[in-house]
Structure 1
Amino acid sequence: MLRSVMLGFVLMLGVGDLTWGQRAQRPAGGATQPSSLDQISNAVRPDYTMGPEDQILIRSAQVPEINERPFRIDSEGFVELPIVGKIRAGGMTVQAFEKELTSRLREYVRDPQVFISLAQFRGEPVFFVGAFGAPGIYPLSGRRTLVEMLTVVGGISPNATRRIKITRRTDYGPMPLPNAVENPEKKISTVEISLSSLSENINPEEDIVLQPYDVISAERAERVYVSGEVGRPASIELGERSSISIAQALTEAGGFTPTANRSQVRILRPISGTDRRAEILIDAKRVFEGKERDFPLLPNDVLYVPGSSVQALLARTGSGLLSSIPYLVITILARR
């Protein structure tokens, strides 16, 4: 029960207030990051706070003495480099250290270009990528479950989808969930986990123990958009749904306006790999009359309700006709 309450608090909080300096204070380990995770490492690299026993790889083509060479941060947090000497790196983010080293090299090189990547971590890392409160690389410290680490990273962002994905290297064993999918070619297994299942159940089986180099990712929530002659144009979050019906979307958008052309509703659907959209014509009037099936809206669809020229004319002239009725009645009576 405590775990469910804790996760519920994390999800409501949305973002964390832990600093990178606080995250860096973890026991030393010493595992090398595999090359297959270089892309993920680089994605979160600038925010990683370095510490003793981390090993960095420096790229600076103008300075061959340090270019493409690994250097280890010593127990006091310093790194010894040719030309510039001893520089403090512990407690600094990779990005901050790049700026510091660039500044030092300006004394010897005109306009130096410096890029630093992590060659080895002081602890076995896990990667939180995407819509989390504080995405980044986090060293594992002992046995840590998914819920515990979600607390450390500040939960998910308010605009995140309600499902998260975990990717694990097969050499760390199979994913202990029945819906896990293995990819023998890439030597990984993946699983999608519902956040509602984590928060609503006591000791949920989805609260798995994380393994080194696990990649936990959360995407931004997918939406559909309703515009045109509706009560209130809306951006509707799908959450854990893969689709939403036209009737549901229009209801959430406040229904039709009096001038809506219900028979000519259009769905504008993205065409994969292009910046164009396909147009699907729907007779929503027949849908609401139960004469045709409802139609599913997919992520990023735009539901557009056009106006009817006839309805618009009646809307403009109707009030005028009504206001003239008392005058017409009086005139007819007066002529009698």
Structure 2
Amino acid sequence: MRLLQVLFCSLVLLGWGSIAWAEESNYQVGEGDVLRISVYQNPDLETTVRVSGDRTVLLPLLGNVSIKGLTVPQVSAKIAKLLSEGYIVNPQVNVFIAEFRSKKAVILGHVKNPGVYELAGPTTLLELISKAGGLTENAGDSAIIKGKKEGASETSRTIDIKALLEGGKLTENLSIQDGDNVYINKAGFCYVSGEVQRPGAYKIDNKTTVIKAITLAGGYTGKASRRSVNLVRIIDGEKKTLNSASLDTPVEDEDIIVVPESFF
């Protein structure tokens, strides 16, 4: 998986990094952004303006225009609508961001350099992970993105990193917004001992079963009993053997799988 992560992140950053910029339509214009605005065949209306703290811009003819919560295409559409109301017939307005403000996001958990990072324009989840030095060896398969609080509410979404890295599911590569908090979870591990080829700790996911864990440990030795397996799980702080466990039982974090020796 590590090689896949490196290759995929390289492709995203070098080859597909422009996707984030091509999808600038998803970026909400904010305080401090500098907008360059032009109106076709109306050079006197061309202006470069910085968005104020109350999310307004001062425009020729229109005065202060609120653009709070709007994306670049929405800003363009709003200005065109206002100009069409008594100023210009069918105005064609072009808006693009000449300079991005300093925005920040926090990434914590199992990345090599957790901390606060500035976002220079549209930034995807993978790009933020790259800024933080990449994933650690113990990183899990999911990330939690919590958005800025608006009033009493807070947005939260869980991202399947494994589907993004191994399956190329780019819909999971969300744009990171100003004030977002990203947490990369820790991978689960199980321990396989007894009559297996390579006893030890193994990384698991939500699809790992007892037989898959045994396979990760190299499979059975020649002396192994293939009819029974002992699964020890920590329940309420105590280690308990699950008598009902089978080879198809899903494995949980910190489970211990013991393959006994056959007596026949």
With the length of structure 1 as denominator, give the TM-score of the two structures. Answer: 0.44
1:295 to 233, 249, 253: 249
Q: After the TM superposition, which residues 38-49 of structure 1 pair with which residues of structure 2 at under 5 Å, given as runs?
A: none
AA paired with 2:155? S
Given the alignment of the two structures, is residue 135 of structure 1 paired with residue 106 of structure 2, yes or no? no
Contact 2:231–2:245 (8 Å) recurs in 1: no
Contact 1:269 1:300 in 2 (8 A): yes
For 1:131 and 1:255, locate their aligned partners in 2 and report how far apart those are by CA, in whole Å: 30
> What are the superposed Cα offsets for residues 16-36 of structure 1, whole Å, 9 maximum, x if unpaired?
xxxxxxxxxxxxx99xxxxxx
1:204 to 158, 163, 170: 170
* Matching residue of 1:216: 182
- Verify the 8 A CA contact 2:188 2:252 in the aligned structure 1: no
Tell me the equivalent position of 1:253: 217
Secondary structure of residue in 2 paired with 1:154? coil
* Matched ranges for 1:42-191 at <5 A: 124-171=103-150, 187-191=153-157
Distance 1:197 1:264, change over 3 A: closer
Q: For residues 154 and 197 of structure 2, what CA distance do their matches in structure 1 show?
A: 48
Q: CA deviation at 1:205?
A: 2.9
Distance 1:166 1:236, change over 3 A: same
When residues 225 and 166 of structure 1 are mapped into structure 2, their CA distance, relative to the original with a 3 A threshold, is same
1:187/1:6 Cα in 2 relative to 1: closer, same or farther (>3 Å)? Answer: farther
Q: Paired residue for 2:242, among 280, 293, 305?
A: 280
Distance 2:124 2:207 in 1: 31
1:265 equivalent to 2:229? Answer yes
Residues 1:148 and 1:6: Cα distance change in structure 2 (over 3 Å): farther
Higher Rg of the two aligned structures: 1
CA distance in 1, matches of 2:165, 2:128: 14
Per-residue deviation, 1:203? 9.0
In 2, the alpha carbon distance for the partners of 1:195 and 1:220 equals: 12
| Cα distance in 2 between the residues matched to 1:157 and 1:10 | 19
Return closer, same or farther for 1:200/1:247 CA change in 2, 3 Å cut-off.
closer
**Residue number in structure 1 paired with 2:9:** 8
C-alpha offsets along residues 53-72 of structure 1, whole Å, 9 cap, x if unaligned? xxxxxxxxxxxxxxxxxxxx
Q: CA RMSD in A?
A: 3.4
Spell out, residue by residue over 1:66-114, the C-alpha distance to the aligned partner (whole angstroms, 9 max, x if none): xxxxxxxxxxxxxxxxxxxxxxxxxxxxxxxxxxxxxxxxxxxxxxxxx
Contact 1:262 1:283 in 2 (8 A): no
Letter in 2 for 1:278: K
CA 199–307 in structure 1, closer or farther in 2 if over 3 Å, else same: closer
> Could you tell me how far apart the structure 1 residues matched to 2:196 and 2:168 are?
42
- The 3-state SS of whatever aligns with 1:251 is helix
Offset at residue 147 of structure 1 (A): 2.7
Name the CA distance, whole Å, in 2 between partners of 1:254 and 1:144: 41
Query: Is residue 9–residue 126 contact of structure 2 (8 Å, CA) maintained in 1?
Result: no
Q: Quick one: structure 1 residues 244 and 200, their matched pair in 2 at CA, closer, same or farther if it must change by over 3 Å?
A: closer
Deviation of 1:217 (Å): 0.8
Q: For 1:247 and 1:202, how far apart are their aligned partners in 2?
A: 27
How far apart are 1:233 and its partner, in Å? Answer: 0.9
Segments of structure 1 that go 5 or more residues without pairing to the other structure are 12-28, 31-121, 172-183, 288-293, 312-336
Count of matched residue pairs? 174
Give unpaired runs (5+ residues) of structure 2.
13-30, 33-100
Cα drift, residue 152 of structure 1: 1.4
Task: Please say if residues 265 and 281 of structure 1, whose CA atoms lie closer than 8 Å, have aligned partners that are also in contact.
Answer: no
Q: 2:161 aligns with which of 195, 198, 202?
A: 195
Question: Is the Cα contact below 8 Å between 2:207 and 2:250 reproduced in 1?
Answer: yes
Which protein is richer in strand relative to its size? 2
Per the alignment, residue 22 of structure 2 pairs with none
Letter in 1 for 2:249: F
Higher helix fraction: Structure 1 or Structure 2?
Answer: 1
Distance in 2 (CA, whole Å) between partners of 1:6 and 1:249 is: 26
